[in-house]
Structure formats: C-alpha cells, structure tokens
Amino acid sequence: MKKESSQELKYQSLSKGLGITGLVLGIVTLLVSFIPCFGLFTIFFGIIAISISLIGLVITLKHNHEKGLIVGALITSLLGCGIAYSQYAAMNALGDELIKEANKTIVENGGEPIDFKKKETKPVSTVIVDDERKAKIKKVNYFSDNSSVTGENGISYNLKVKKVEVARRKMYESEGINYVSRYDNIYITISAFHVEEAFMLFSNGELKETVNIKGYLLKSSRSDGDGYGKYCSDSFIFYPELNTQTTKKSRIADFTGANCGMGEEVNNRVKNERIKAVKASGILSNEDIKPIEKVSKIVNVEAPKTALVEEVSEEKIEVNKIYNITVDNLRVRTSPDLDAEKIENLPLDTKVEFLNQKSEQKITVTIKGKEIDEYWYKVKTPSGNVGWIHGCCFDKN
C-alpha cells in the first residue's frame, strides 16, 4: 500500500508540475499574443504550452487527479494561440491592403503594379535596359509599318528600314535531296540558322538609329538557284521581339506544308527535312538565339540624329556596285570560308552585284603562286544566287 501511495503521489506531483508549467507558458502566450509583431513566435510558445498541458491532462485522467489546473492551462494556451494567429492574419491582411493601395497609386500615375510577393525581382538597372529595348523595338515596328508620315507641324518624312545580316550560326543542314527529271538534275538542301540582323532606320535618307535583332532563319535552297517557279526554294525568318506567336505558327505551317511539285517521294523527303530543320532551330521551344559567325562590320552601330548613310561604319557603304570577275571558275560559297559549301562557279568576266557586306577578317589565298590577303564579299550572281566570293578575283574599280 505504501508503494502504491508513493507512486500515486509521484504522478500527482508530476501532473501538478505539468499543469503549472503549461499554465505559465499559456499565460505568457496569452499576454504576448496581443503584440502583433511577435506573430508566429508567440504561436510556437503556445504549441509547447498545449503539448505540456495535454501530457498533464492524460496523466490526470488516468489517475483521476484534480483537473482544474490542467484544464485552465490548456484553455489559456489555446486562447493565446488563437489570438496570436488572428493577429498574424490581421497583419498580413493589412500588408496586402497597403500593397493594393500602393499599386493603385502607381497605376493611376501611369506605372505598372509591383508584385511584392515575388521571390525574384529584377534589379533597377535591368528594368531600365528592358524599357530602353522595348522603345527601340517599338521604333523598328513603326518604321517598318510606315513608309511615309506627316508630323503635327505638317512636315513629311519618308521612312525606310534596311536590314543587314551581321551574325549567323548554323543549327541544321540536310543532305542534298536529288531530283532528276527530263529537264532537271538538281539537289535541294534544307538549313536552319540563328541570325542577328542590323535594322537601319532611315528618315528622309538620313540614318537615325541601328537596332540589332536576333531571329530564326529557315531556308530551302536549290542547287540551280530559284529555278522554274521557285519550287522548293523558299525561306522565312522569325524575330521573337518583332513577330507574334500567330505569325510564327503561320510561317512554320507554310514552310513545312509546301508542295515542291517534284513527285511524292521527293516531296515527302523535303517535308520531313523541313520539319527536322524547324525542330533543330529551337524556334518551337524559344531557345536562346546565339549567332556566332560575324559576317559584317555593321554591329550595334549607333548613329547621331544628323548621321548620313555614309557614316554607318568605318568604311563607306558601296551601294549596288557591280564587280567584274577576273578569273575563270571562281567559286561562290554559302559563307565566307574556304571550306564552306559551293553554290556555283562563275566564268571569266561575269558581272556580280555587291550586297554591301564584307567578312570581318581577311583570308589569304594563293593565286598563280601569289599570296593575296583579302576580305570575302557578299554578292548576287546573274543566276540570282546570293553567296560569298573572295576579293582576290574581281575588279573593284
């Protein structure tokens, strides 16, 4: 009996101690809960108080001890937690209301609302750059959509956009698809590129600004140039900053759905290669455009308001200049590189049109034992092909 009585006193003392501890923590929780800034910190103490009180309550119920102290501690702890949580919720609601009012003021003043709950926010410098870029793209669209405008003062302006490719990176090129008929024996090649082009904005013949814009170029070429009816010889370029997703979808559909009119077998092969080129280009997943091969010196040219066409680059632009080929069988290549694919051979005294683009660096070639260090030049041949020829072998005068 003494052992049982001693055990009973032990549990009674334990339940009483737990009750007092729970009550003290509950009172502290209750008092601090009225201070809004403590929020979740108060709830943490409340949970400890509730846990201690529940342990004490279990012991009390099991041994039929006085429950008043434990119940009081439990009620005080629950009450403190409830008040603390309500204060925390009220603070959050107040914060949301203040943000809402602040955004309302920002919108009324012509700004864009700010989401303060975002984990990542752009630095101020990035936001400024983005705004400047949007303004440039808007200007390019304006010049592209309007060939002539009249200002409020009645002054008329003729607007023109000239595009110059400044960089390119090949993403895909198919093997030549051979088509043989009674009249033709040609090869069709499908290619995809990442490109960067300089959009040169002119007003009344004066260069106002140059904006570099990147895009995806999809191209289908014939070995004989455009050929009759231009079947299987077409291309399109999509600029994510300028064009809409609807435009992208429409151009991809036209490109992959084209009928070459060369029989079912060739037509299906061309379609499949075009689909492969579209996928490889990254246009479907909006892959970052990273052209790497520089093909022009006109890169990020910023012209003053009074700049003329002649001031576009370090060297004066030569407009529509005709060059005379001085050797026989001069190779025209797809890019300014000796290893690039050949487009056609030009006979002696062929006239070609210079397209105002030179390679970034000179390349040395040996002609009849003589080394010639010259640029590559982008030209249009009499057959309509556009490619690159080395400066060794034509008359520039």
The mean pLDDT of the chain is 75
Q: Is the pLDDT of residue 217 over 90?
A: yes
pLDDT (0 to 100) of residue 193: 93
How far apart are the C-alpha atoms of 163 and 198, rounded to whole Å?
6
Residues 95-120 have a mean pLDDT of 57
Least confident of 58-62, 146-150, 161-165, 234-238: 58-62
Residues 343-368 have a mean pLDDT of 81
Residue 194 CB burial class (10 angstroms; 0-12, 13-18, ≥19)? buried
Q: Which residues contact 198 (CB under 8 A, 6 or more apart)?
A: 163, 164, 165, 166, 210, 211, 212, 296, 298, 299, 300, 301
Retrieve residue 214's tokens: 């990147």
pLDDT (0 to 100) of residue 397: 54
Phi, psi of 388, deg, nearest 5: -120, 135
**Which one of 3.30.450.20, 2.30.30.40, 3.40.50.300, 3.40.718.10 gives the CATH number of domain 318-395?**
2.30.30.40
> Is 272 or 40 the better-scoring residue by pLDDT?
272
pLDDT (0 to 100) of residue 260: 80
Q: Is the pLDDT of residue 304 over 50?
A: no
Q: Is the pLDDT of residue 12 over 70?
A: no
Retrieve residue 183's tokens: 């009249």
Q: What is the pLDDT of residues 139-161, one digit of tens each?
A: 998 898 888 888 778 888 899 99
Write the DSSP symbol of residue 188.
E
Q: Is the pLDDT of residue 317 over 50?
A: no
How far apart are the C-alpha atoms of 72 and 12, rounded to whole Å?
17
How far apart are the C-alpha atoms of 5 and 366, rounded to whole Å?
114
| Pairing label, strands 363-367, 394-395 | unpaired
Q: Give the whole-number percent of the chain exceeding pLDDT 90.
A: 16
Least confident of 71-80, 178-187, 353-362: 71-80
Say if CB 317 and CB 383 are below 8 A apart.
no
How far apart are the C-alpha atoms of 187 and 224, rounded to whole Å?
8
pLDDT (0 to 100) of residue 278: 93
pLDDT (0 to 100) of residue 108: 54
Residues 296-316 have a mean pLDDT of 36
pLDDT (0 to 100) of residue 215: 92
Q: Is the pLDDT of residue 298 over 70?
A: no
How far apart are the C-alpha atoms of 6 and 114, rounded to whole Å?
68
Residues 158-169 have a mean pLDDT of 90
How far apart are the C-alpha atoms of 101 and 116, rounded to whole Å?
13
Residues 240-268 have a mean pLDDT of 88
SS3 92: helix
Say if CB 387 and CB 381 are below 8 A apart.
yes
pLDDT (0 to 100) of residue 199: 93
Q: Is the pLDDT of residue 214 over 50?
A: yes
pLDDT confidence band for 194 (50 / 70 / 90): very high
pLDDT (0 to 100) of residue 309: 31
Find, among 130, 125, 122, 101, the residue nearest to 113 by Cα.
Answer: 101
Least confident of 205-209, 230-234, 391-395: 230-234
Least confident of 64-78, 130-144, 305-319: 305-319
Where exactly are the structural domains of the chain? 2-103, 141-294, 318-395
How far apart are the C-alpha atoms of 116 and 106, rounded to whole Å?
13
> Is 176 or 318 the better-scoring residue by pLDDT?
176
